Every structure is written in C-alpha cells, then in structure tokens.
Chains A and B, each alone.
Chain A
Amino acid sequence: MSLKNEGSNALKESQVQTVKTENDNHPAVSPKKKKKKAHGLLAVEIGAVLAAILFFGVPFYFVIVNSFKTSGEAAAMNLSWPNAFQAIENYREVLTLNDGIVLRAFMNSTIITLGAIITLIIVCSMAGFVLQRRPGLSKKLNYVILAGLMIPPSIVPTIWVLQSIGLFKTMPGIIFLESALHFSFATLLYTAFVATIPKELDEAALIDGCGPFSLFFRIIFPLLKPVTSTVIVLSSIQIYNDFENMLYFFPGADNATVQLTLYNFTGLYGTSYHLLFADVIMISIPPLILFIFFNKKIVAGMTAGAVKG
C-alpha cells in the first residue's frame, strides 16, 4: 500500500508501532455519558449487524443456497430453501465435468500462486533490503518501482516477449509474469519495513563475521516475518483471483485456472446456475482458509509497513 518510501520514515514507523498497541480502544465517548449512551449503542450495534447481514450476508446465502438446488429450481434465482436438496450431486458434477477441468484448474492455480509468492518473497525482500540500506538508492529507483503499481501491463508486447523466450503458455512464464506484476507492491512493503530494523544489528553481525548473504538470510529475513505475512495474504489472493492476466497470457484448456472455469461453465451450460454457484463456492474456499489463518496479520502488517510507508 505504500506509495512513498524514504529511509527517514524509520523513526515514524517505530513510533506508530508502539502507539498502536496502547491505543486499541478509542475514546470517542466521554465517561459521564457512558450509561446514557449504552442503550443507543446497543441499538446501533443491532442495526450494524442487520445491515451487514443485508448487504453482505444475503448475497452469500443466495449463492450457497442455489448451489444446493436442482437446475430448475436454481433458475428461479430466489432465496428459498431447496425442495430437492442435491448439494453432493452438484459439487461432484462440477468436479468431474469436462474430464475434471475444475480439479486441473485448482492444481494450476495453486502452482502459479505458490510459485509466484515464493519468488516474490525471496527476490523482493532482498531488493527491499538493499534499496533501503544503500543511501539514496530507493530515491533513485522510486519512479521505476512506482511505475509497476500504476501502469497496466502492455498485453501484446508482453505476449511477444514471452513467445520470443519460449515461455508463452508455460507455467514458468506465468509465474515470472505474475511476480513481475506484483513486484512493486511487495518491494515497497519490504523497503518500508526494513527501515524499522535498526542498522546497529547489521554492524553487530558484521563484527561477528557475517557476509552479506548470512546477514540477510540469517538475521534480517526472519525479522521481516510480519510484512512477509502481509505479502503472502494480499498477493496470493490477488494472484489466485487473477482473471485478466490468465486470460491473456495463459490461454488454453490445459492451462485453465480457477477463475476461467467460471467461464467455461457459462459458455457450456448457459443457465446452469446451480453448477456455476457450486463452482463459485468451491473456488472461494482457499482464500477463505488463508484469511482465517492470517486475519489478524493483515491490519498489523499494514500498520507496520504500509500506510505510513
């Protein structure tokens, strides 16, 4: 999320972190009026939960309940509970359809996401480390890196480059491409976070006889854990959910990724909403699991390195 990164932010960052911990509860209400406000607050809370259910819960319920119906019932597009409950049949049909294209897509998406995330973590943390530590370097390269956040990839020339080096429609090709497209975001996060690690640590390591590699991989890299978690969650969700780049740079039935299976569906099965929604549910599970594991880290990582970067 960082759009500005300068070494001088080191001090501010560390302040932000210490302040955050002692400031979790907000003092918007004065103590005198507390009791009087308690009833009003309860009403507001109930209202908020109801609004959340209406705006966010209903669409989910709609998708889930329709993925349990028969094709005829699902076509009515309503919220009613299924008369004929055929959840297992629907989900099995989605998985076995077209020689198991959905399973293949799951495999492809997983490999691409894992490959790109591992690449990103290694190369961007190394780059972020040196960019922050070498005086003036990040300032010099700032616009080159920011360009990656702003500029949309130029499609046809990218295909041409991929073809020329023999990586078009290949797994390494799409992994490198996704890494390149998420490079700026991850590097900016790492650069901002490295600023919070005191340079004295490097000096101590130097005295103990560390070279650049052991300094980085044994001392600095483990300290980057919070920001690595942020990169894992945000980038892997984006890469897993990427539709546009897969459409352009990874075409073909063998190369199907989870997002494209939604399309193979509508194309083949015009109005088979029950199967479509079953697919929607299935492909939403991996990001959900990731979110459950990293939920708390998202805000923490952003506060640490991103917003104030």
Chain B
Amino acid sequence: MINSKKMYPLYFLLPAGIIYSVFFLLPTGMSFFYSMTWWTLDDWEFIGFDNFIQFFQEPSLRIGFRNTLIFAFTTMGGKVIIGLLLAVFLCSKIRNKNFLRSVVFFPVLLSTIAVGITFKTMMHPTTGLINTALAKIGITGPNWLGDPSIALLSVAMTDIWKGVGIATVIFIAGIMAIPNHYYEALKIDGGNAFQGFWHVTLPLSRPALNTVIILALIGGLRTFDLVWAMTGGGPGFSTDLLASIVYKQYAGGFYGLATAGNVLLFLFVGLIAFPIFKFLNRKEVDL
C-alpha cells in the first residue's frame, strides 16, 4: 500500500498554488473591496455601493447586461447547432473529411483581432465583400455594423464563424467515443440514419454537448476582443458588452467603477453559467 502523504506530497501543488493565488485569486478577492471605492491606485476612498448604483442607473452602462446576454446566447446557440451538424457530417463516410475538418478548425487558430478587422472590411455597407456579392444577385445588403438594430448580431455571426471549429472538434471527439454496437442494435431494429442521430448520437454525445454549451456561454459572456476590433461598442452603445464597458471605464481612469463592472461581470457569469453547469451535469448520461 502506498503512503499517499509521502508519495504524493502536497508541496507538488505549491508552484501552481502560488502563481494561481498571487496572480488570480488575490486580485479577485481584492476586487470586492475596491469595487466599493473611489480608486486611483495610489489612494482610495470608501463610497459603498455607489459604483454599482451608477452601473444600474446609467443607460450606457446598463445596456451592457442586455447586450451580453443576447450575444452569449446567440453565439452559444449557433455554435451548438452548427457545430453538432458539422460534426455529424464530418464523422460520416465522406472522402474529404480530414481536409474539411482542418478547414473548419482553422479560424480557431487565428487572432480574434485579425478576424474582427477582416470581417469589418467585408461588412462595409457599400464596398464590402458581402454586400457586393449580395448586390450581384439583386439584394441590397444591410449596413451590417452601422445599423444599431443588427450590429450586435453581425458581431455574433463573426464570433460563430471563428469559434464553431472548436465546438465541432469537441463534438467529433464525443461522437467518436460512442460504441459501435448502439448503431448496430438500431440497425437490427430497422432504424434509419435520422433515428440514429436522434436516439443514439444526440443523447450519447451529451458530455460533449455540455462542454460546448458551458465553454461557449462563458466565452460569450466574457467577449471583449471581437467587439473591440469590429465596432468599439458602437454605433451608440448598441454593441457594448460588459467587458468592453469595463475597458472603457478603465481607460477613462475610473478604476473603482471598472472594478465594480468586473465584479458585476463575474457575478453575471456565475449566476448564468453555474446553474446551467449544475443542471447539465445532473442530466448527464453515462456510456
């Protein structure tokens, strides 16, 4: 029998523990206090919940909650549905699947800023590639990023384009782990391909589905880079997400307010992601 205290010493955790505590846990803990201050880094003054009140009262700050929710759930939905369909397709008996898998995964490798800038030029209302192509088939394309009513969705579409590859890879890994005999049993019972998808693939790739949902949701709630590269939060505040509002407050020197925004973002992510995470894990099906 192994003496775990001797063979698996706790000091193995020390390097990771120190780095994680000093550079992540400690600042996170501090943020609760400093979110209630007027802060200049050198000096602070305690002001209670004023920063939070300001966040909920100013429309330009409040809009961040609504936009963040819309953005996170749109991109999550898109990545789940498109990623799952792509994965099923790329696990079928097609010849080019390795090529196609690489193609779909490739945008994941790219920098978000580069993707954002590229799509921003392609979404230009008059000279942009998308509207020029639409004009050729007789459609007048919208002003993708200039129209406040659709700008957020344009950014979300770009995010799906860039991130669907990782969802697809996770789904492929999940689907490939499903034992063959489930499909054989279904075939003996006379099931068709759609029934195979509905009754075998879908329920048994549940762990992959959970992973994709949680990762996409957390990623969506925290998005900053893409909005920054594509719209900078505009037009007006129509694409401002919580993370970009935090940046604006930080850049403006409102450190206490930025920290309060950070705390709200943290609570927001927790309140949305944590219950979903719990719920999904409870319903997980074992292979």
Contact = CB atoms under 8 A, between A and B. Distances in A.
A23 B177 CA distance: 8
A146 B140 CA distance: 47
Nearest to A45: B94
Interface stretch (A71-79, A87-95, A96-104): A71-79
Interface residues of A, number: 110
B118 A78 contact: no
A27 B186 CA distance: 11
A16 B263 CA distance: 40
Contacts of A177: 23
Interface in B240-261: 243, 246-247, 250, 255, 258-259
A307 B211 contact: yes
A224 interface: no
Contacts of B139: none
Nearest to B6: A212
Which of the listed residues B15, B20, B174 has the most CB atoms from chain A within 10 Å of its own CB? Answer: B20
A307 B129 contact: no
Contact of B2 (A206, A302, A303): A206
A273 interface: yes
Contacts of B129: 58, 62, 77-79
Interface residues of B, number: 105
B279 to A, nearest CB: 13
Interface string B251-280: 000010011001101100110011001000
Interface string B171-201: 0111111111001100100000100100000
B15 A280 contact: no
Given A29-B93, A212-B6, A157 B259 contact: yes
Contact of A123 (B15, B104, B173): B15
A197 interface: no
A30 interface: yes
A266 B95 CA distance: 42
B163 to A, nearest CB: 12
B13 interface: yes
A20 to B, nearest CB: 5
Contact of A48 (B96, B243, B265, B269): B96
B93 A28 contact: yes
Contact of A161 (B23, B250, B273): B23
Nearest to A247: B247
A22 B180 contact: yes
A307 B173 CA distance: 7
A111 interface: no
Contact of A28 (B170, B176, B193): B193
Interface in A5-56: 12, 15-16, 19-20, 22-30, 41, 44-45, 48-49, 52, 55-56
A262 B30 CA distance: 33
A196 interface: no
B147 interface: no
Interface string A243-274: 11001100000000011001100100000010
A23 B173 contact: no
Given A244-B224, A303-B177, A153 B24 contact: yes
B122 A62 contact: yes
A156 B250 contact: yes
B12 A126 contact: yes
A32 to B, nearest CB: 10
Contact of A27 (B132, B183, B214): B183
Nearest to A124: B16
B54 interface: no
Contact of A127 (B16, B26, B89, B177): B16
A12 B286 contact: yes
Given A126-B16, A157-B259, A259-B114, 12 more contacts: A12-B287, A23-B178, A28-B93, A45-B94, A76-B127, A149-B218, A154-B31, A155-B246, A216-B12, A241-B109, A248-B250, A266-B117
22 contacts: A16-B177, A23-B179, A27-B187, A29-B93, A41-B93, A41-B94, A49-B99, A79-B129, A130-B9, A155-B258, A155-B259, A156-B34, A156-B255, A156-B258, A157-B30, A162-B23, A212-B9, A212-B12, A241-B110, A243-B228, A244-B243, A298-B169
